[in-house]
């Protein structure tokens, strides 16, 4: 044994009962400085506080995309969206006990959900180690796991009372397996007007116009729609915020920093951008 003992009241310790072994799906327990399953599979939590439960190397957001996301979210431009997500997910009548946020990113949304649900614990899942590192620092009640949302999730059956996915992968079959029958799924997707001014001026990748229909098609048989809350507003961004917004998203891979710098310098400052998203709520299909 090398590392420090994992405390039961640490963030990972407190969500361990919700997690499962990625190799055999058995439960996990603390064994000194390691985490193990009854079948001898062992996992070593990273120094930065997250637990890697992936079976192979994954391609999540790069360290540069994650640091751009931190920079952009610090501008508060997505605060209205975050508030709408929290309002849609948590009410005084139904406070979740266990929240699982898929594609947790920097932990920006999960930490707000946990603040609004003071007795809940949260599991943040992301394919990116850079994101997991950030998210592990986001909230004392958030345990963060590196795992692939397209594979079987390392989460026990019916363990989650609230599952969220904000601009992140959706795996309806797995979401249905991990959510309690009376749980709630909240998915945030961009509409085809999201960041329209930037898409036009910087030739960014466009949101698929069929996204809403594809979301509904994918959920069929696993979740039934409750409602969709449109969240639309504009934000005035300075050039640094525009650069961060591009660098944190899928277009980052398609534009060099020089080309981005030039294109952004040619924009008015501040530059007004439309935020247009749908907060969609789903109940588990019986």
Q: Which of 6, 149, 163, 195 binds ligand SAM (CB under 6 A)?
A: 149
* 223-237 vs 160-166, strand pairing mode: unpaired
Q: 248 with 62: CB under 8 angstroms?
A: no
Categorise residue 221: left if φ over 0, alpha if ψ from -120 to 50, beta otherwise: left
Beta strands in 110-176, from DSSP E residues, in sequence order: 121-126, 142-146, 160-166
Residue 166 touching ligand SAM (CB under 6 A): yes
- Answer for which of 150, 182, 220, 254 binds ligand SAM (CB under 6 A) is 150
Tell me if 127 contacts ligand SAM by CB under 6 A: yes
| Residue nearer to Zn ion on the CB measure, 16 or 86 | 16
How many residues form the binding site for ligand SAM (CB under 6 A)? 20
Considering CB distances under 5 to 8 angstroms, the limit depending on partner class, which of Zn ion, ligand SAM, none binds residue 61? ligand SAM
- Out of 13, 49, 169, 190, name the contact with ligand SAM by CB under 6 A: 169
Q: Is the Cβ–Cβ distance between 62 and 157 less than 8 Å?
A: no
Residue 251 interacts with ligand SAM (CB under 6 A): yes or no: no
Quick check: 180 and 156 in contact, CB under 8 A?
A: no
Q: Which is nearer to ligand SAM, 21 or 100 (CB)?
A: 100
Q: Tell which residue, 43, 44, 39, has the closest CA to residue 26.
A: 39
The single residue among 20, 77, 111, 128 that binds ligand SAM, judged by CB under 6 A, is 128
279 binds ligand SAM (CB under 6 A): no
Q: Are 209 and 276 in contact (CB under 8 A)?
A: no
CA atoms in the 13 A half-sphere facing the CB of 157 = 2
Pair 122, 100: CB distance under 8 Å: yes
- Within 10 A of 275 (CB to CB), how many other CB atoms are there? 18
**Residues in touch with Zn ion (CB under 5 A):** 21, 23-24, 26, 37, 39, 41
- Residue 69 binding ligand SAM, by CB under 6 A: yes
The answer to the question of residue 108 lying near ligand SAM (CB under 6 A) is: yes
The tokens 């603040």 sit on which residue?
Answer: 115
Q: Is 168 in the site for ligand SAM (CB under 6 A)?
A: yes
> Considering only 42-50, 124-132, 221-229, 268-276, which stretch makes contact with ligand SAM by CB under 6 A?
124-132
Interaction site with ligand SAM (CB under 6 A)? 60-61, 69, 103, 105-106, 108-109, 125-128, 131, 148-150, 166-169
């Amino acid at each position: 044994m090398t590392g420090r003992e994992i405390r039961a009241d640490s963030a990972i310790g407190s969500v361990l009962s919700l997690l499962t072994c990625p190799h055999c799906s058995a439960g996990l327990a603390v064994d000194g400085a390691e985490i193990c399953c009854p079948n001898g599979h062992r996992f070593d939590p990273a120094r930065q506080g997250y637990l890697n439960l992936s079976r192979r190397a994954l391609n999540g957001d790069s360290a540069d995309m994650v640091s751009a996301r931190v920079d952009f979210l610090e501008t508060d431009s997505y605060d209205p969206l975050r508030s709408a997500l929290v309002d849609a997910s948590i009410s005084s009548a139904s406070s979740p006990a266990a929240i699982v946020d898929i594609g947790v990113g920097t932990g920006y949304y999960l930490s707000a959900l946990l603040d609004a649900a003071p007795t809940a614990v949260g599991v943040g899942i992301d394919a990116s180690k850079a994101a997991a590192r950030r998210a592990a620092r986001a909230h004392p009640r958030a345990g963060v796991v590196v795992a692939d949302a397209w594979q079987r999730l390392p989460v026990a059956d019916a363990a989650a009372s609230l599952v969220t996915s904000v601009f992140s992968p959706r795996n309806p079959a797995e979401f249905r397996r991990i959510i309690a029958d009376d749980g709630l799924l909240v998915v945030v997707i961009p509409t085809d007007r999201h960041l329209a001014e930037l898409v036009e001026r910087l030739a960014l990748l466009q949101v698929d116009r069929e996204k809403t229909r594809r979301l509904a098609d994918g959920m069929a048989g696993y979740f039934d729609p409750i409602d969709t809350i449109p969240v639309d507003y504009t934000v005035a961004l300075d050039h640094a915020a525009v650069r961060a917004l591009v660098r944190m998203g899928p277009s980052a891979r398609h534009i060099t920093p020089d080309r981005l710098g030039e294109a952004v310098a040619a924009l008015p400052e501040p530059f007004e951008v439309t935020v247009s998203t749908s907060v969609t709520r789903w109940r588990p299909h019986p």
